[in-house]
């Protein structure tokens, strides 16, 4: 074990001192924070050139309402800030009212206006059928544009049309607008947390607004931390074994250490590297939340311990697989095809995490989180998600992962021993299997 420690120490030092490690460590948060900053900066950088829309109103009842609404919109919604800092953040709307008589009926009218959109004279147009106000069966209001991505005007027009129709209909029925307002006034259903009894004071806590950060983003972040620890360590680990094999360092090492000790040393070094990474992020996250005065949403100590346990196991479990690949192949091209299935296995939780976090206690969530390759990520996700799962589940999951890890390390040891001395062709899956079973 002493020799494994020497290997682990070298691996750890080599990894932590490498530029790639520092870059990855810094790049992750920089990328995440950077993307938020970029989005904030770009929010002000939208195209604010005014947009012209055409309108064919075959009822003849919407023009005034639209004129008023556009005037209000251009006055109140397009600018942000006051005085000197008043800044245009959206395009103004310019409406062109088209006489239904002159433009004719659809589809000819629609074609003419479509051509005008294509000629960039207008951004889009809206056609209101005559029967809309009377709820005629086939009466429609259609908005046409080149793309449905920018739908700001459609949403604006929809509000104006509906408000106007409601007003016209209520007038027709002789109902006071104010009455309608009172009748349709909606009530919001609040999303609140559970309450609990305070052990010290005996009082009942006040419910908090439900916080999506705590409910979804935090558990997901913890899960991603494991995923990242596995991924960040995996490729360098595999490449290191491959390089040692290519540069014939393996043979020098094997003169001094048994293959299994060598592999265990490498895995231990890799776990230490991943713990360093995660440690830095946990500390960074804690400090950031403290700075933002949000430290109450920082995960509990229990969750942090589970995180470290599951993360170490995941790095060991997948590390053993990646080491086997590194020992069995000769170059990156071969490695990439051999890595695919292992990558898929590691990424499996990504496909189901949303289902699991929505119902952490469902049978599906329980079963999938007890599937060893997925356990570290999904069990942690369930532990960190709101609600509580029976404590035997993470322990059972932990046990299963340990068994799987031992199995993987045992198999990897055999493949590693045979693979690192083999030069030339890459070992086929069948060949690796025969090493595991026979040697």
Partner 1 sequence: MMQAVEIESATKRFGDVIAVDDLSLSIPEGSIYGFIGPNGSGKTTTLRMILRIIHPDQGQIRVLGEDSFTADNDLVGYLPEERGLYKKMRVLELLQFFAALKGNRDGKTDALRWLDELGLGEWGNKKVETLSKGMSQKIQFIASIIARPELLILDEPFAGLDPVNSEVIKRTVLELRKQGTTILFSTHDMEVAEKMCDYICMMFKGKKVIDGTMDAIQGDYGQNVVRVKIADGGDIQGQLESLAEVEMVNDFGLVQELRLKPDADTQSLLRRLMELGTVRHFELCRPSLRDIFVRIAGPESEEDSHE
Q: Which residues bind partner 1 (CB under 8 A)?
A: 2-3, 6-7, 10, 14, 18, 244, 246-249, 251-258, 421
CB of 338 to partner 1, least distance (A): 22
In the DSSP assignment, the letter for residue 79 is E
What is the spatial order of strands in the sheet that 51-57 belongs to? 93-98, 51-57, 124-128, 141-145
Q: Cβ atoms within 10 A of the Cβ of 313, count?
A: 21
CB of 421 to partner 1, least distance (A): 7
CB of 262 to partner 1, least distance (A): 9
Distance CA 145, CA 125 (A): 7
Q: State the first-to-last Cα distance of the chain, in angstroms, to the nearest integer.
A: 22
Q: Which is nearer to partner 1, 10 or 118 (CB)?
A: 10
Beta bridge partners of 53: 95, 124
Among the listed residues 320, 341, 347, 309, the one whose alpha carbon sits nearest the alpha carbon of residue 404: 320
Distance CA 132, CA 161 (A): 10
Q: Which is nearer to partner 1, 6 or 308 (CB)?
A: 6
CB of 424 to partner 1, least distance (A): 12
Q: Which is nearer to partner 1, 114 or 330 (CB)?
A: 330
CB of 236 to partner 1, least distance (A): 12
Q: Which is nearer to partner 1, 94 or 254 (CB)?
A: 254
CB of 280 to partner 1, least distance (A): 22
- Contact of 427 with 338, CB cutoff 8 Å: no
Q: Which is nearer to partner 1, 256 or 302 (CB)?
A: 256
CB of 255 to partner 1, least distance (A): 3
Distance CA 166, CA 132 (A): 11
- Contact of 330 with 424, CB cutoff 8 Å: yes
The CA-based angle 40-45-47, given to 5 degrees, is 140
Distance CA 214, CA 232 (A): 26
Q: Which is nearer to partner 1, 5 or 156 (CB)?
A: 5
Q: Which is nearer to partner 1, 249 or 304 (CB)?
A: 249
Distance CA 201, CA 217 (A): 31
């Amino acid at each position: 074990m002493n020799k494994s420690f020497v290997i682990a120490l070298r691996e750890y030092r080599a990894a932590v001192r490498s530029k790639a490690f520092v870059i990855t460590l810094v790049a992750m948060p920089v990328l995440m924070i950077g993307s938020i900053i970029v989005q904030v900066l770009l929010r002000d950088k939208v195209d604010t050139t005014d947009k012209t829309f055409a309108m064919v109103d075959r009822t003849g009842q919407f023009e005034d309402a639209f004129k008023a609404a556009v005037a209000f919109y251009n006055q109140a919604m397009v600018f942000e800030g006051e005085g000197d800092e008043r800044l245009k953040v959206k395009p103004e709307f310019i409406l062109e009212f088209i006489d239904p008589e002159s433009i004719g009926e659809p589809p000819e009218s629609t074609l003419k206006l479509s051509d005008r959109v294509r000629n960039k004279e207008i951004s889009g147009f809206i056609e209101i059928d005559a029967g809309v106000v009377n709820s005629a069966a086939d009466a429609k209001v259609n908005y046409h544009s080149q793309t449905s991505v920018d739908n700001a005007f459609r949403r604006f027009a929809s509000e104006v049309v509906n408000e106007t129709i409601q007003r016209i209909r209520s007038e027709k029925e002789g109902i006071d607008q104010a009455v309608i307002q009172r009748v349709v006034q909606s009530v919001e259903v609040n999303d609140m947390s559970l309450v609990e009894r305070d052990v010290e004071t005996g009082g009942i806590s006040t419910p908090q607004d439900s916080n999506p950060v705590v409910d979804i983003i935090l558990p997901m972040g913890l899960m991603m931390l494991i995923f990242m620890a596995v991924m960040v360590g995996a490729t360098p680990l595999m490449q290191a074994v491959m390089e040692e094999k290519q540069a014939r360092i393996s043979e020098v090492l094997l003169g001094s250490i048994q293959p299994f000790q060598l592999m265990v040393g490498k895995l231990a070094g890799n776990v230490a590297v991943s713990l360093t990474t995660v440690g830095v992020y946990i500390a960074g996250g804690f400090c950031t939340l403290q700075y933002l005065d949000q430290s109450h949403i920082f995960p509990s100590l229990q969750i942090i311990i589970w995180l470290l346990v599951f993360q170490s196991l995941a790095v060991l479990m997948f590390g053993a697989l990646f080491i086997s690949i590194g020992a069995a192949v000769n170059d990156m091209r071969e490695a990439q095809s051999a890595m695919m299935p292992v990558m898929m296995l590691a990424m499996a939780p990504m496909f189901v995490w949303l289902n699991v976090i929505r119902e952490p206690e469902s049978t599906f969530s329980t079963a999938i989180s007890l599937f060893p390759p997925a356990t570290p990520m999904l069990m942690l996700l369930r532990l960190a998600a709101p609600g509580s799962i029976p404590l035997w589940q993470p322990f059972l999951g932990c046990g299963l992962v340990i068994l799987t890890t031992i199995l993987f390390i045992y198999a990897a040891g055999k493949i590693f021993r045979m693979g690192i001395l083999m030069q030339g062709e890459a070992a086929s899956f069948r060949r690796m299997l025969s090493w595991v079973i026979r040697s």
